[in-house]
Amino acid sequence: MSFRRGVVRQSKFRHVFAQVWKSEHCIDDIRVSRVTWDSPLCAVNPKFIAVIVEAGGGGAFLVVPIGKSGRIDQSCPTVCGHAAPVLDIQWSPHDDNIIASASEDCTVKIWQIPDGGLTSPMTEAVLTLEGHSKRVGILAWHPSALNILLTAGCDNLICVWNVGTGELVYQLSEAHPDLIYNVSWNKDGSAICTVCKDKALRVIDPRRGTVLKVKEKVHEGTRPMRALFLSDGKILTTGFSRMSERQLALWDTKDLSEPMAVQEMDTSNGVLLPFYDPDTNMVYLCGKGDCTIRYFEVTDESPYVHFLSLYSSKEPQRGAGFLSKRGVDVNKCEIARFYKLHERKVEPISMTVPRKSDLFQVDLYPDTAGSEPALQADEWIAGHDAPPLLVSLSGGYTAPPSKHRDTLRSKPQLTSQDSGSGAASPSAGTTVSTKETEEEQPQPRVSNTVSSA
């Protein structure tokens, strides 16, 4: 079923517009990575901007404070501990100083960024996770449980780690017969959805390893797809039709036989990367190589997905970072912010609701996910689930001091200067290999069960 791009019903987000920041607020003269992998290449939180960059002889990414602007000197320090190009980076939702990176060198590394940013190249990770036999291109932190990280690689394997101990706690080895394109947690972290090169959408219980639902040929095209869980349990997918037209589809997990809504947009080759704001139920689509950002509102009213508008520019985007709601400027009615990657520049773009009042707009800013975890890792592993703990944005939001860094395994107590230097020491980092830890840690739960339901 298609949905129309005609008259939009009444909505407070109907007139959302994109506002490009002035050039003096952009980050210039960086070499964005040219790696052939469909990831955003950028990760943003209220404290830092991280961008995967070109690096000789290995993989690296740049980390700068979010207020940084202007030209980045070529001698600016980077995080450069991987032996091959970095494919994905993701900030922890529960500590704005912790970032994970995945690489073609088959490892995942956990890094602690000092509050003021890097002062010299960082080469020693807090933790190195070795469980994949091929390059790792997907990272997904659990939305509400501290230190739970999901990784997926080109070995068709999904691993779930407790980065607080370095333990590989779950491993899904036979759920996917081909390359995994994307993984997304649901709201309380009790399930994940995946899309694969076999064109199937799967809903999986990661602890039991059970494939709960399967929908074949979600999109009939051969190009990569994306899928993400919405806050109400529905799933939104992007992909390509048989005629190579780009599509957006909405699915009800209770019945995957037919999509609730489908839209065919254009015939560009760029993969559509969806970014979701659960507070407004808005979805933003950024196509790699596109000059536009489309945005939609998802509701319970037919046709369910309502086209709002699009932002167009002259410069194509190489990738994009999506700022969490904790970092937006509530005083300017900013409801979302992108960091658009050009070939050699990072350009902030604010999504704003036009309002004249200077008062806090309660209807635009419901309580949002904060940085405090709802569960400890052991609680989630034991079978408990909980949605993220919410905080108010009234009066702005300031992240509390980090309370959780010391839960990382063998984490040294470093000063900001020591953290930035990346100097090697016996305690500077811990490598966790699934082979090396067989005797000292419980074996991961290897699951390949497919439910008949």
Per residue, the 3-state secondary structure of the chain, as one string, reads: CECCCCCCCCCCCCCCEEEECCHHHCEECCCECCCCCCCCCEEECCCEEEEEECCCCCEEEEEEECCCCEECCCCCCCEEEECCCEEEEEECCCCCCEEEEEECCCCEEEEECCCCCCCCCECCCCEEEECCCCCEEEEEECCCECCEEEEEECCCCEEEEECCCCEEEEEECCCCCCCEEEEEECCCCCCEEEEECCCCEEEEECCCCEEEEEECCCCCCCCCCEEEECCCCCEEEEEECCCCCEEEEEEECCECCCCCEEEECCCCCCCEEEEEECCCCEEEEEECCCCEEEEEEECCCCCCEEEEEEEECCCCCCEEEECCHHHCCHHHCEEEEEEEECCCEEEEEEEECCCCCCCCCCCCCCCEECCCCCECHHHHHCCCCCCCCEECCCCCCCCCCCCCHHHCCCCCCCCHHHHHHCCCCCCCCEEEECCCCCCCCCCCEEECCECCC
In this prediction, residue 427 has a pLDDT band, given cuts at 50, 70 and 90, of very low
Location of structure tokens 């305690």: 427
Angle 423-426-431 (CA atoms, 0-180°, nearest 5)?
95
Burial (CB < 10 A; 0-12, 13-18, 19+), residue 86, is buried
The residue-averaged pLDDT of 81-93 equals 97
The residue-averaged pLDDT of 374-389 equals 98
Residues 6 or more apart whose Cβ sits within 8 Å of residue 413? 406
Cis amide bond preceding 303, omega within 30: yes
Higher pLDDT, 220 or 358: 220
In this prediction, residue 163 has a pLDDT band, given cuts at 50, 70 and 90, of very high
The pair of three-digit structure tokens given for residue 200, joined into one six-digit string: 């199937």
Answer for the pair 139, 108: CB distance below 8 angstroms, yes or no. Answer: yes
Ramachandran assignment for 289, one of left (phi > 0), alpha (psi -120 to 50 degrees), beta (any other) = left
* 170: pLDDT strictly greater than 50: yes
In this prediction, residue 406 has a pLDDT band, given cuts at 50, 70 and 90, of low
* 410: pLDDT strictly greater than 70: no
The residue-averaged pLDDT of 51-55 equals 95
The residue-averaged pLDDT of 57-85 equals 94
Calpha distance 127→163 (Å, rounded): 8
Higher pLDDT, 437 or 301: 301
What sign does the dihedral 351-240-204-255 (CA atoms) show?
A: positive
Quick one: what percent of the chain has pLDDT higher than 70?
85
Structural domains present in the chain:
17-417+429-447 (2.130.10.10)
pLDDT tens readout for residues 10-42: 889 999 999 999 999 999 999 999 998 999 999
Residues 106-109: contacts with CB within 8 Å, 24+ apart? 106/130, 106/132, 106/133, 106/134, 106/135, 106/136, 106/153, 107/82, 107/132, 107/136, 108/132, 108/136, 108/139, 108/149, 108/151, 108/161, 109/81, 109/82
The residue-averaged pLDDT of 164-169 equals 96
* 399: pLDDT strictly greater than 90: no
The pair of three-digit structure tokens given for residue 143, joined into one six-digit string: 């939305």
User: Model-level pTM?
Assistant: 0.88
In this prediction, residue 414 has a pLDDT band, given cuts at 50, 70 and 90, of very low
Calpha distance 224→11 (Å, rounded): 32
Q: Which region among 202-211, 230-239, 364-373, 430-439 has the lowest average model confidence (pLDDT)?
A: 430-439
The residue-averaged pLDDT of 155-175 equals 96
**What pLDDT sits at residue 41?**
97
